[in-house]
Amino acid sequence: AQKYVLTKHFQGEPKRSDFQIVEEKLPDLKDGEILTEAEYLSVDPYMRAYMIAYKLPKDMIGGQVAQVIESRNEKFPVGSYVSGEFGWRTHTVVNPNTWKTSKFLPINIVPDVSPHPLSLGLGLLGMPGNTAYFGLQEICKPKEGETIVVTGAAGAVGSHVGQIGKILGCRVVGFAGSDEKCEYLEKELGFDRAFNYKTCNISAALKEGAPNRVDCYFDNVGGEISTKIMTAMNKFGRVAVCGSISSYNDPILPKVTIVQPAIVFKELKVEGFLVNRWSDRWDEGVNMNLKWLNEGKLKYQEKVYHGFENMVDALVGMLRGENTGKAVVKVK
């Protein structure tokens, strides 16, 4: 097996020299264990944020879709595909029965959804898909006719949130980082309006895009734009704080207008969440997202990078916004 080990803490953008690729000899399988071979590896924003907390050297974290190539566990036969948080590595020996209790998410069988790619197990039918599914519905609780605003709108979670908003009969406004992304959101995904946050005036965009003001805000990015959006909310609006990618790469935090007056005077409900809160309902989210996919109600794009040796480029590319939809790496 080959694996990435982080040996230097990130300073600004991650660099190839922050990692070593290490060869590892894997043990023979014991009862209950499986040997998997990675097919797709995930690059996600949390990797940039979480790795600062670890003592180094530390094996790189991350999800993958992998094929079972040896098995001593009848629930996971040879040839099946699983998703699991195995990290940036090519081969893994694990026991799925004992894994669940110790890790963020359980190991799941990835359903065959051909002609769609297996990589959907890392996106629409995986962790980001369930982040959108549960985060929007359980935290924002949108009602038909209400206005939802989502930032990071063209990414894996954001593009999914907006489409669920449309399924629920809401007005959906997105903010994303390029005109092409905004065109995709409006023309392909059915967003009512999408604005390029890098070039627009946020407050004017909100007036135009959300004439009845904002009832639900799904916050993927944090920072100043979030203060502006929360200031444009209706009384008793609901905010799902999902992430704050605008600050992950910045060693110096930018000055942000204080958000508390908007929260007080509009009596907002602001709640952070981690998607593993719903790990007991994981299949419900995957099955509903699959149903919507099959009904043509959910569309997706992926940015596919190629090669195990290019993991760092993929991570940096995603953080820079090269991706529309989920960013994944095809290992072979």
Which residues partner with 37 through β-bridges?
67, 91
Question: What is the size of the binding site for ligand NDP (CB under 6 A)?
Answer: 32
Answer yes or no whether residue 194 interacts with ligand NDP by CB under 6 A.
Answer: no
Alpha carbon 49 to chain centroid, angstroms: 13
Residues 140-169 that bind ligand NDP (CB under 6 A): 152, 154-158
Answer yes or no whether residue 82 interacts with ligand NDP by CB under 6 A.
Answer: no
Give dist(CA 113, CA 125) in Å, integer: 10
Enumerate residues 6+ apart whose C-beta is below 8 A from 234: 212, 213, 214, 215, 266
Cβ pair 171, 213 in contact under 8 A: no
Answer yes or no whether residue 99 interacts with ligand NDP by CB under 6 A.
Answer: no
- Closest residue by Cα to residue 102 from 276, 321, 305: 276
Applying CB under 6 A, the span of 20-28, 199-207, 272-280, 307-315 interacting with ligand NDP comes to 272-280
Alpha carbon 134 to chain centroid, angstroms: 13
| Residue 80 Cβ vs ligand NDP, minimum distance, rounded to whole Å | 25
Q: Which of 5, 176, 182, 233 binds ligand NDP (CB under 6 A)?
A: 176
Answer yes or no whether residue 301 interacts with ligand NDP by CB under 6 A.
Answer: no
Which residues partner with 329 through β-bridges?
41, 305
For residue 91, give the H/E element and its range: strand 91-94
Applying CB under 6 A, the span of 54-62, 108-116, 141-149, 273-281 interacting with ligand NDP comes to 273-281
Binding-site string for ligand NDP from residue 4 to residue 43, where x marks contact by CB under 6 A and - marks none:
----------------------------------------
| Residue 190 Cβ vs ligand NDP, minimum distance, rounded to whole Å | 18
Give dist(CA 318, CA 163) in Å, integer: 21
Q: Which of 131, 147, 163, 227 binds ligand NDP (CB under 6 A)?
A: 131
Answer yes or no whether residue 182 interacts with ligand NDP by CB under 6 A.
Answer: no
| Residue 318 Cβ vs ligand NDP, minimum distance, rounded to whole Å | 5
Q: Would you say 29 or 316 has its CB closer to ligand NDP? A: 316
Which residues partner with 81 through β-bridges?
67
Report in angstroms the alpha-carbon separations of 250 from 10, 11, 12, 48. Answer: 11, 9, 6, 11
Q: Which residue is nearest to ligand NDP (CB)?
A: 155
Answer yes or no whether residue 64 interacts with ligand NDP by CB under 6 A.
Answer: no
Binding-site string for ligand NDP from residue 242 to residue 261, where x marks contact by CB under 6 A and - marks none:
xxxxx---------------
150: amino acid identity, one letter:
V
Q: Would you say 24 or 188 has its CB closer to ligand NDP? A: 188
* Burial class (CB within 10 angstroms; exposed 0-12, middle 13-18, buried 19+) of 169: exposed
**How many residues are given for the chain?**
332
329: amino acid identity, one letter:
V
Rg of the chain over all Cα atoms, to the nearest angstrom: 20
Answer yes or no whether residue 202 interacts with ligand NDP by CB under 6 A.
Answer: no
Answer yes or no whether residue 177 interacts with ligand NDP by CB under 6 A.
Answer: yes
What residue ranges bind ligand NDP (CB under 6 A)? Answer: 44-46, 127-128, 131, 152, 154-158, 176-178, 181, 220-221, 242-246, 273-275, 318-319, 321, 323, 326-327
